Amino acid sequence: MDKEIILCKLGEVALKGLNRRAFEDVLIKNIRRRLRDAGQFSVTARQSTVYVEPQDGDADMDLAEERCAKVFGVVAYTRAGAAEKSLPAIQEKAAAYLEEVLEDSSTFKVECKRSDKKFPYKSPEVSAEVGAYLLEKFPHLRVDVHRPDLVVRVEVREAEAFVHADPKPGAGGIPVGTGGKAAVLISGGLDSPVAAWMMAKRGVELTAIHFASPPYTSELAHRKVVRLLEKVSEYAGRIKMVTVNFTHLQEQIRDCCPEDLGTVILRRFMLRAAQQVARDEGCQALITGESLGQVASQTLQAIACTDAAADMPVFRPLIGADKSEIVRLAYQIGTYDISIEPHEDCCTIFTPKHPRTRPILHFVEEGEKAIDGEGLLAEALQSPGTIHIRPMGLGGLPDDGA
């Protein structure tokens, strides 16, 4: 038997009790979608593991492994060699499948997990017999049960046995599509793509809302946001991006409203616009990338004034994070280098020289009365631009989910 598969280990999904099957079904569907350009694969779930099995010789296992690594709901994954459920077959498969890493190691140990209790050898016996066989085949090795260079793992399951090295960490979280739907206010900065990623990790299907102000913001700035969302979509699946033109509204805020309250007033109109788009898209909440105290509009008082303009929940997953933590996550998900490109942003044009850090809601509401907010908002929302963003390589697929 010369067969290799990918084993995706479930984490939190395995703890969902009576709802577990529903979570597993969504996870399987998400994995299948991500693998459609990697070849023909069978994707099934058994015993807290998703089995990803190639169905022909044209399947791209390297690409499939890369895709599985970024599917939320998979806590760990590994490529494994399959063997018949006999001790000699398992021994031979371990030596052949792990030959390269065994040659490069000095110490090892064998660990066995026997899910099939009818298998005639208990787990310690399998570990001992496989270990003895490998010592004979690779005389340079020695056993170290405490700190081995390599752990040879044997899993004896229902139909087959599998041999592999240590699993690699997966994306974790829960499958996208199990946590509802929310709209993320996305800019070209570091924070909002990370916030989007964090909420997708909790199973939230994302719609992205971007505010543009041409000619003050350029097509390059818009493309930058698209590229950021392409990175996030590698984990979150398909993302619908809605672009709202805020030029006229921002000009009116600049020209007519109190300068020191301009940023807070702008944020309030962004929330109003975003929640209208969110409702149209069937979303139940908004997401922003705000971190407490990071800038003038992110003080407790400013956030309270901003939230008073919305009547749907606003999630801020980065609220307690410092910049170094956000940067680390941006590196991890691949958005950092794009975020630091020097393109203008809707949130940074017309920035007041001395923004008020402790605004009072009454004065903010009074300041807004200087413009026809309702009319300007209706104008901005009259014809938003819409595009569908998918993980890289899946751009030509039908618009049917994550």
DSSP assignment string, 314-382 = EE-TTTT--HHHHHHHHHHHT-HHHHTS----TTTTT--SS--SS--HHHHHHHHTTS-HHHHHHHHTS
Phi then psi for residue 361, to 5 deg, are -55, -45
pLDDT at 210: 96
pLDDT at residue 158 greater than cutoff 90: no
Instruction: Please report the sign of the dihedral spanned by the C-alpha atoms of residue 263, residue 264, residue 267, residue 272.
Output: negative
pLDDT at residue 398 greater than cutoff 50: no
Q: What is the mean pLDDT of residues 312-327?
A: 96
Orientation angle between helical segments 262-280 and 361-368, nearest 10 degrees: 80
Encoded amino acid at 165, one letter: A
Percent of the chain, pLDDT > 70? 97
All structural domains of the chain, each given as residue ranges with its CATH number in brackets, are 3-169 (3.30.2130.30), 181-389 (3.40.50.620)
Q: What is the mean pLDDT of residues 190-203?
A: 97
Question: pLDDT of 34-62, one tens digit each?
Answer: 999 999 999 999 888 999 999 988 899 99
pLDDT at 400: 39
Instruction: Evaluate if pTM is beyond 0.85.
Output: yes
pLDDT at 46: 87
pLDDT at 135: 97
pLDDT at 344: 77
Average pLDDT, the chain: 93
**Cβ atoms 141, 183 nearer than 8 A:** no
Confidence of residue 375 (pLDDT cuts 50, 70, 90): very high
Question: pLDDT of 274-293, one tens digit each?
Answer: 999 999 999 999 999 999 98
